[in-house]
Each structure stands twice: as C-alpha cells, then as structure tokens.
Structure 1
C-alpha cells in the first residue's frame, strides 16, 4: 500500500513538472507572434481605450474612485476594468521609459505610449492562454489543454486581437477560463462521460470560439462548442 501511494505521488509530481514545462513553452510560443504584431498599427477603438486608461489611472492616483469607470465619458462602455488596469500599468512603464530615454512622446497617447500598451496587453493575453491551458489540462487532460491553448493562442484573429489594447480577448479568455474551472469544480462531465478523444473535443471548442464573430460566441458557434464539449 505504501509503495503504491509513493508511486502515485511520483506520477503526480511528474505530471505537474510536465505541465509546468508545457506552460512555459506555450507562453513563449503564443507571446512571440503577439509581440511581433504589437506597435505596428492602431485600431479604431484604441485611442478611446487609451483615453479611458488615462482617466482611470488619474482617478486612482487622486482617489477619485467615482471616475474610475469605463462608463464615464463619451463613448461610454462596459465592461473594461481589466483593460484600463493594463493601460494604467502601461502608462507607468511608458513614463519610466521616457524618464530613462528609452521611449519618447509628450503624452501617453503618443505612438510609443500605444506600443507600450500593446506590449503589456500581449503579455497579459499570453499569460491568460497559459491559465486556460492549465485549467483545461486539469479538467480534461494535458492533450486537451495543449490543443486548446495552441488553437486559441496561434489563430491569426486571436493573435491580432491579443496585441491591441481592447477588452474583447480579455473578456473571452477570462469567461472561458471561468467556465472550464466551474465544470472542473462540479465534476462535469463525470468520469463515465468524459470524451474519448479530448484533443478533438478541445480543437472543436477552440475552433468554435475562434470562428465566432468579434470573439463573442454566436448561436452556431455556441452549439458547435457545446457539441464538442459533450464529446460528439
């Protein structure tokens, strides 16, 4: 009995070590194309998110918490808190870079400020993809986690959207991680109902998300993802 327990503990330790290595490799793999994309263009919404981030960081600095919201000003929107936190971090890094002469511009709204925000956003979305990998791996196995992370992490649409200061990819990733964590916590599906081909299941779910317009799962995408997760 003791030997079996030791073997089980060793197996869990090895599995955890493999998952850590895969997590690091995945982070690097999905970060590289995002960094290569960051700083090369400006999307329609980014100047607005930059202004919101400036207002948000100023509100925090002066303890005017009622102004620390994306619903203030024009155009107003919700959600957006996570995006503005990243913009605030980027603004601090931009100021530090200007202070030592590495970055330029008289305002955070300058090209260097936007590029800094895009780099910070790229790092954040890459880290969230690693969290998604770990969540799916613990729920459905390492193969499922890797396929999910690679499909989401390397899809051209996801790469481009993950390298701009915007809320969509953050919302999509955080929502997906939450759903996977909930399914794992509830034990859904049970052992008897687990899919026989987790890689195919993960690929189907990832493609459903990747193919949905604006990363908001459409009706068709939802049912395709639901069917994949059910193991059909």
Structure 2
C-alpha cells in the first residue's frame, strides 16, 4: 500500500472526528452525547463512516499481502467482512435507506445521486457475500486468493467515493429538506435504533473489535503511517 495514501486517509478520519469532538458531542472513545446535546443524524452517519474507513484500510492491507503472496490471519479478513455486513450494511446503510433516501425522493432532491448510492449499496452486499464465502477456510487456493484481491479492490474503489459523496453532498443537504423538529427526532431515533440492535455503547464495542483486528495485522499504531522526511 502507498504509505502516503494511507497516512492521508488516517489524517482525514482524525480531522473529521476531531471536528465533531470539538463541539462537545464526542469523547475519545466514540459516539457520545454531551449533557443537554444530541448528535445529529448526519454527524451520526459520518462517524460511522470513520469506522468504515478503518475497515477499508484493513482491506487495503490484506489485499496487498495477498498480492505479495504473504501469509496473514484470514480470520482478520473474515471478521472485517462480518462487521461490514452486520454494522455497515445491515444497520448503517439501512438507516440511510429507511430515513434519508425516501425523504430526498419525496422532495425530488438529489434523486440521481440517491439512486446511484442505492445501487452501490446492493453491489457492496454482493461483494461481502463473496468475501464471507471465500474466507470461511484458512486454506485458500491461488484462484481464490486472486478473487479476494479483485473483490477487496472493487469494494474499496467503490466505497471511498461513495462515502465521500454522502459526506460532502447528501448529508449536508439533508438538513435543508426536513423540519427542525423532524431533524432532532431522527437523531434520537438513530441512537435508539443503534442501542436496540447493538446494545448500550454498541458503536464503541464494534470500534474495539476493529482496533483488535488492526492489532492482529500490526497496522494499529498510527505513527507507522507517517512518511519519512
């Protein structure tokens, strides 16, 4: 992996999280509510994009190891794909599909973008199906390893511009198409949905799992991505 590219992605994630933290809505651990303040729907979704970005980095790393024909714990890839399935696809994207996309369609705003995002959600789920199938065993054939490389690359190539377009276009526009009351109510509903599906502090627990996978692959320490002068 290009170390400058990795460093840039990590830096963007930190800046995004730090910007929200500066408003008093985050703690260092993850998503939290400060006294008397609620996290907004777009902020909630953008924080989850930070978690997704960390898994994209794991996918990058595993794809590079596969290309170099180096051994690594295939369970790390299986666990990452499982988090993509359970948290990103079955929860995060469902939130977008159930609460954001229909409101844009109803308002006749950004409909082409919404349709493309939905197509990409479905394409991502197909890729995850294949990744989960191919990582069931520790032993993979040469053909299977080549297919894993292709799938990981395809997933990352699609999701980096996908989430960037949501963060910079879709989410900022959402505030303009709903009332203030509806906007606040959705933020509370998002939090309730997350706790119902993953339990109290569910995001933090999943973030801990991602950190554990990073540690197993020796890519957890942030300073290793700093380019040498």
TM-score bucket (shorter structure): under 0.3
Instruction: Give the TM-score normalised by structure 2.
Output: 0.28
Which structure has the larger Rg over C-alpha atoms? 1
Higher relative contact order (CA 8 A, sep 6+): 2
Instruction: Give the TM-score normalised by structure 1.
Output: 0.27
